[in-house]
Structure 1
Amino acid sequence: MSSETSQRTTERGRIRVTGLDVDRVESRDPLSSWEPDLQSEEGRGRLEYAWKRFRRNRLALFGAATIGFMILLAVFSRPIQLPSSFPVLAGQTVQPFSLAPADPANQDVITGYREPTLENVLTWPPTGLYLFGADWAGRDILSRVMYGGRWSLSIGFIAVAMALLVGIPLGSVAGYYGGKVDELIMRIVDMLYAFPFIVLAIAVIAVLGRGYWEMILALVVVGWLPYARIIRGEILSVKENEYVTAAKALGSRDRSIIVRHILPNAMAPVIVQATLSIGTTVLVAAALGFIGLGLSPASAEWGVMLNVEQDAIARGRWWAGLFPGLAIFVFVMAINLVGDGVRDAFDPQGDQTDSDTGGLR
């Protein structure tokens, strides 16, 4: 029998596997390599391939450009000064530019403005000087929408990132080890899933109080659940592959197997879910602000703006609610376009779809 077809006995440490053809495992799946350099090369190759496919999706690129534009407006709307409690560069201005036409907290941007009444509250619709009009306190709505993007967008991105840091490790442990560990983690997930998303977030805020980080923590408490469930399901499938068995036979540690061999092949649906969840998180944050459980009115967070302007909207000041709501709509639509593009980029059937449509979307 030739050496190419012979079955091998692999031994390392206390693990002894008979009948495992290591060469066959490598040839069947290039991702089965347990060598660090080859594994990292494969990871880069998959990401590069997905990026090439993402760039062919025009709607996804349009969504990404829209998100980038909104982030730039939010960052450069007003100067950014670090708080005095910040460990580095305390009290220093790290962003000196101001694209907003007025101070979003200034309550007298309109000449001659005085205490609002039912008679004069309708006198400042959008004009050439104030493109989005002014709110009930005489504050420029355009400036507040730009500045409020800092709070709304940062809440979405930070909450999703923190939820990933919680959900991925817990789901990985549950899927890889199984047994009682899996049972315990999944029962916690099922128990939390029994509560409506918004109700659980309200309960957390009621306990912690209102505030920026309190809202993020409330969104993380309910946001890590889908990531844990998705990554667990993927790992249950991936861990049965031959290259995982080969890594175990060579004595690789569990942490190394999970991080280097399993997660790279299980992350695609998690990335798609995380991208789409950013828009959902912004919507939930706006809903909490609208019902009075969001940030302070001075933050100009988009949901808080809608809450403050409820009476004005009822009196016919349509612009007071239109532009904050439009900002939420545009961002969520853009992030959904990006999420669809990311999903298609990681879709193994995407090449057939591209050939059927001529490469256009």
Structure 2
Amino acid sequence: MEIERPVISHEKGIKFKKKKEGRSLWADGWIRLKRNKLAMFGLFLVTVLVLAAIFAPLITPYSPYEQFIWTKGKDAQLAPPSREHWFGTDIYGRDIYTRVVYGARISLQIALASTLISVVIGVILGAIAGYYGGKVDDFISWLINVIFAFPFLFFVLAIVAYLPPSLTIMYFAIGFVNWAEIARVVRGQVLSIKTKEFVEAAVALGARDFRVIFRHILPNVMAPVIVQATLGMGSIIMLEAGLSFLGFGVQPPEPSWGYMIDQGRQYLMTGKWWWSVFPGFAIMMLVLGFNLLGDGLRDALDPRLKQ
């Protein structure tokens, strides 16, 4: 958008000169993000795997549950990578490439749902603690410290092991445990923003606390929340794979990367490496993509690094 600003000239009176307005934080951040090659590489990895998960039926010729007995006149069980089965097959004759692609759906679904739950809980509790302070802040801060006192994996493992295994249980188990880091970030941001002039002006004009928090404060703290959520998605994917590896995650015959690694590791010593290697490589690429993208977003959205 361009605006006209007056320029005074003694000879020809007043002229108007067009001057561009400054870019917003998000537009400026996107420009800086595009200059970060590692961040764009991470965005590329995440985009490729997300598209593969969405269009899995179009890029895989088989079903993730389909079992083969013979392929090209040979035994299809634990068959090595070939033209028919790019990543080989498992002990049941299922195509590993197809199961890796469909496994991306489950990992991304759990990561997105758990992150959304943790962001909602963390933002609400962090904003309340930072805005009201006093005993409310003390109680929420104590609750955050309690969450941090327990090992993250053991906390989730206790919830998942006690309840019947399902995707919904995993969403809420990871989301309810993962909110503390986001709440701590939001609380610190709200403590610094609530003393600003525009917040004091809104309070002086009679705005209610709900409007002050959600209309004036939270829009200014979403940048670090987005960064923290992006970085946390890589950890959630690793956690889901670890739970499946231990047998407490997604149950067979659903395609899960962690469970595939667990089932294939006993055949590594016999030279049947593809059952474990390809799911592990997929986990590495997706986690690397989220970590690189999260680091790039942190640098791009930090106003202190604008220069």
Task: Confirm or deny: 8 A CA contact 1:297 1:305 kept in the other structure.
Answer: no
Cα displacement (A) at 1:99: 1.6
Q: Measure how far apart 1:143 and its partner are.
A: 0.6
Does residue 325 (structure 1) correspond to residue 285 (structure 2)? The answer is: no
Hey, what's the Cα distance between the residues in 2 that align with 1:236 and 1:110? Answer: 65
Aligned 1:1-361 pairs, distance under 5 A: 45-78=24-57, 98-108=58-68, 110-111=70-71, 121=78, 124-352=79-307
RMSD between superposed Cα atoms in Å: 1.9
Q: Secondary structure at the match of 1:127?
A: coil
For residues 157-192 of structure 1, the C-alpha deviation after alignment (integer angstroms, 9 at most, x for no partner) is 111111101110011001100111111111111112
Q: Judging changes above 3 Å, is the alpha-carbon distance between structure 1 residues 115 and 318 closer, same or farther for their aligned structure 2 residues?
A: closer
SS of equivalent residue, structure 2 residue 253:
helix
Instruction: For residue 129 of structure 1, give the secondary structure of its aligned residue in structure 2.
Output: coil
Quote the Cα distance in structure 1 between the aligned partners of 2:282 and 2:76: 28
CA distance in 2, matches of 1:302, 1:277: 18
Q: Aligned partners of 2:75 and 2:248: how far apart in 1?
A: 29
Higher helix share: 2
Gaps of 5+ in 2: 1-20
Structure 2 Cα separation of the partners of residues 196 and 287 of structure 1: 14
- Quote how far apart the aligned CAs of 1:48 are: 2.0
Q: Equivalents in 2 of 1:184, 1:137: separation in Å? A: 53
Amino acid in structure 1 at the alignment position of 2:238: L
Aligned to 1:130, what secondary structure does the other structure show? coil
C-alpha contact (below 8 Å) 1:102/1:109 kept by paired residues: no
Percent identity over the alignment?
43
Relative to the length of structure 1, the TM-score reads 0.75
Query: For the structure 1 residues 132 and 187, does the alpha-carbon distance in structure 2 shift closer, same or farther, using more than 3 Å as the test?
Result: same
Per-residue deviation at 1:109?
5.8
State the 1:129 CA deviation. Answer: 2.0
Contact 2:264/2:273 (8 A) holds in 1: no
Q: Counterpart amino acid of 1:343?
A: R
Report the residue type matching 2:88 in the other structure. Answer: G
Paired residues in the alignment total: 285
CA apart distance, 1:72: 1.3
Q: Match for 2:51: what amino acid?
A: L
TM-score w.r.t. the length of structure 2 is 0.88
Separation (CA, whole Å) in 1 of partners of 2:76 and 2:63 = 19
